[in-house]
Amino acid sequence: MKRNLALIGAVAGAAFALTATAASAVTLKLNHNNPKDHQLHKSMEFMAERVKELTNGDVKIRVYANAQLGTQRESLELVQNGTLAMAKSNASELEAFEESYSAMNLPYIFVSEDHYYNVLSGEIGDDILMASKDKGFIGLTYYVEGARSFYANKEIHTPADLKGMKIRVQPSESAIRMVELLGGNPTPISWGELYSALKQGVVDGAENNPSALTSARHGEVSKFYSNDGHTMIPSVVVMSTKVWDSLDENQQKALKQAAKDSMLFHREAWNEQTRKDIEQAKKELDVKFIEVEKGPFIEAVMPMHEEASKKSARIADLVERIKAAAK
């Protein structure tokens, strides 16, 4: 309770600033849990510069790294009640707040990087971003983060190798179910605690993109990265509905444009950074990358697609549309 009150006090009244006129200058606070040298931070800074340019300084974004204003979940709750203007989350954690995101979290629903990006940048992606407007927040844009795979201190070649392993997952129903179907023991742990959990053996492994090996130093304690590419889960920049509605039409348009521009900027920079991260993990951290046969992994988790579609007509529709987009 004390922590929550402190977080609210830290951002209350300063999350965004508006004067009485329509042309007022606006300063928006954007919180995220990555370090300043991470590509996600750089892409959010790009968005901040772009919206400042588009509005001649009338709209500014102040980006806070390293969870300065709260954890990912705490920031999202602050965004919902309008205390914080913006936050970076991801589709995995957002599914607990808006079911539409769960369609994106299904393993192997995206068949390629182009399929993934086309869904995010098109009508389906926009539909999902706006689905939570009545729940206190909207999505502004997605940032691709490549494919997620398992990494541990043992080689993982097939689902059988995961049997009995404690695998760190995000607090996501989809992630938990996926690891269960693959034979592992899903263990939700916050991102900030994961390095210690891996080092101390609290968990046996985790799943993420290759940048986790370098930016979060997980390659120091996990020496095998099994490239099964089970999910492609984007980060999402979200904004308080209350704050969004307080902006005038031109400000909203500029913010949307800046967010979209930063999405394209991020994709190109992310792919280049991923190549560097893989080389760094191999050369400096001695991480072994394992190319696996994906067939057994796909077969094991396919029941999730049908299970998800049975939950609601909304998810069933999104799953059908995403799959159709691959064609």
- Each residue's pLDDT tens digit, 122-172: 999 999 999 999 999 999 999 999 999 999 999 999 999 999 999 999 888
DSSP state of 43: H
* Angstrom distances, CA of residue 311 to CA of 20, 154, 185, 298: 45, 36, 24, 21
Q: Which pLDDT belongs to residue 171?
A: 87
Q: Which pLDDT belongs to residue 18?
A: 39
Walk me through the domains of the chain, giving residue ranges and CATH numbers: 26-144+233-279 (3.40.190.170), 148-232+284-325 (3.40.190.170)
pLDDT at 305 over 70: yes
Residue 142 to residue 81: CA distance in whole angstroms: 22
Q: Which pLDDT belongs to residue 273?
A: 93
pLDDT at 17 over 80: no
Q: Which two tokens stand for residue 298?
A: 């796909």
pLDDT at 15 over 80: no
Kindly give, in sequence order, each residue whose CB lies less than 8 Å from that of residue 161, ignoring residues fewer than 6 positions away.
154, 155
Q: Which pLDDT belongs to residue 135?
A: 97
Q: Which two tokens stand for residue 209?
A: 């993109």
DSSP state of 19: -
Q: Which pLDDT belongs to residue 22?
A: 44
Short-list 102, 91, 87, CA closest to 33 = 87
Kindly give, in sequence order, each residue whose CB lies less than 8 Å from that of residue 299, ignoring residues fewer than 6 positions away.
none
Q: What is the mean pLDDT of residues 37-62?
A: 97
Q: What is the mean pLDDT of residues 32-44?
A: 95
Q: Which two tokens stand for residue 81?
A: 């009640």
pLDDT at 24 over 80: no
Q: Which two tokens stand for residue 67?
A: 């969870």
Q: What is the mean pLDDT of residues 207-220?
A: 95
Mean pLDDT of the residues in the chain: 93
What's the length of the chain? Answer: 327
Q: What is the mean pLDDT of residues 193-199?
A: 97
User: Hey, CA dihedral for 120, 230, 113, 270, is it positive or negative?
Assistant: positive
Q: What is the mean pLDDT of residues 45-52?
A: 98
Q: Which pLDDT belongs to residue 11?
A: 54
* Angstrom distances, CA of residue 173 to CA of 99, 153, 163, 187, 280: 11, 25, 19, 11, 32
Q: Long-range contact list for 33-37, CB < 8 A, 24+ apart? A: 33/66, 33/67, 33/71, 33/72, 33/88, 33/191, 33/192, 34/65, 34/66, 34/88, 34/215, 35/65, 35/66, 35/215, 36/65, 36/66, 37/215
Question: Tens digit of pLDDT for each residue in 74-117?
Answer: 999 999 999 999 999 999 999 999 999 999 999 999 999 999 99
